[in-house]
């Protein structure tokens, strides 16, 4: 665009008449999107709280979309596309981690003025976040009870409970590539949460100590570690934002609040990829 009299002029070829044509707002359904914020109070800061959580849910929708694709790519031994998806999800979590800094501008005094209107609504009830945890291996069938009043959310989680995780898909890919993944690991009950399998540590040790021969596997292992670190940083930033806003009060959904969030930091999706670091070079 040229500058004329201090005003940026539009190019001659730019479309300006959108009668009967799809425009930016149509494509993004902006009328629906921007009218989806419904504060219950008249407090100035409630829109911040709503928009923070709504945008996080949009990013989680993308993360779940990408993780399902990563699982499919690994099942097809398409490691290059799987790695691209893992990188994208890592950056999604970096983005929603940075978003906590915006919510952290909400002071305890400000939040107290409208917190009561939330009732029992809580981030614990995010079915998309639970689905992301399920697809990464942190499964808990008891969580489904929370969503019995929302059939779509319940069915989505029930499907992920029955499905292999991204880690299951990766381990099966390693087995097809000739790595000695134990049979009981390959045929485990995928409905159960992943727990550390020490028999996998020697498998990873061989990969990490001969990266030239196993570069794709090694690089994908590091992608998984990058992703786990990104999720853990999100969890930690969540905890710190909650602590600075409500201290050690119980959560709106009935949880212990900060204590509940702190216990999540002990959860790990790919424990053997951390355990192997002690063994490399020994």
* Residue list for the binding site for substrate: 49-53, 111, 115, 252
DSSP characters over 72-135:
HHHHTT-HHHHHHHHHHHHHHHHHHHHHHHHHTTS-HHHHHHHHGGGTT--GGG-HHHHHHHHH
Q: Are 251 and 260 in contact (CB under 8 A)?
A: yes
Q: Which residues contribute to the annotated binding site for heme? A: 238
Strand partners, 7: 4
Which positions ≥6 away from 28 have C-beta within 8 Å?
none
- At residue 8, φ and ψ (nearest 5 deg) are -75, 120
Strand partners, 181: none
The residue whose two tokens read 């009060």 is 249
Q: Are 63 and 89 in contact (CB under 8 A)?
A: yes
Q: Which residues contribute to the annotated binding site? A: 49-53, 111, 115, 238, 252
The residue whose two tokens read 């100590």 is 209
Q: Are 92 and 63 in contact (CB under 8 A)?
A: yes
- DSSP E strands, the chain: 3-4, 7-8
> 183 is written with which tokens?
């049979």
Q: What CA–CA distance (Å, rounded) separates 259 from 251?
A: 10
């Amino acid at each position: 665009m040229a500058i004329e009299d201090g005003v940026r002029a539009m190019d001659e070829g730019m479309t300006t008449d959108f009668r009967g044509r799809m425009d930016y707002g149509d494509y993004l359904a902006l009328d629906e999107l921007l009218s989806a914020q419904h504060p219950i109070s008249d407090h100035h800061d409630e829109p911040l709280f709503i928009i923070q959580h709504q945008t996080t849910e949009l990013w989680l929708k993308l993360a779940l979309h990408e993780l399902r694709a990563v699982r499919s790519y690994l099942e097809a031994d398409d490691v290059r596309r799987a790695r691209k998806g893992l990188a994208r999800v890592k950056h999604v979590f970096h983005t929603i981690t940075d978003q906590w800094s915006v919510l952290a501008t909400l002071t305890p005094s400000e939040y107290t003025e409208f917190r009561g209107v939330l009732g029992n609504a809580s981030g614990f009830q995010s079915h998309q976040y639970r689905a992301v945890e399920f697809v990464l291996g942190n499964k808990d069938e008891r969580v489904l009870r929370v969503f019995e009043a929302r059939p779509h959310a319940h069915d989505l989680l029930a499907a992920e409970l029955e499905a292999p995780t991204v880690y299951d898909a990766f381990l099966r890919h390693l087995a097809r590539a000739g790595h000695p993944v134990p049979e009981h690991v390959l045929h485990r009950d995928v409905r159960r949460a992943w727990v550390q399998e020490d028999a996998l540590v020697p498998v990873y040790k061989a990969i990490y100590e001969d990266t030239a021969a196993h570069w794709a596997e090694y690089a994908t292992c590091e992608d998984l570690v990058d992703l786990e670190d990104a999720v853990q940083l999100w969890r930690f930033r969540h905890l710190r934002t909650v602590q600075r806003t409500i201290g050690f009060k119980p959560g709106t959904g009935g949880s212990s609040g900060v204590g509940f969030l702190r216990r999540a930091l002990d959860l790990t999706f790919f424990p053997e990829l951390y355990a192997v670091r002690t063994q490399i070079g020994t």
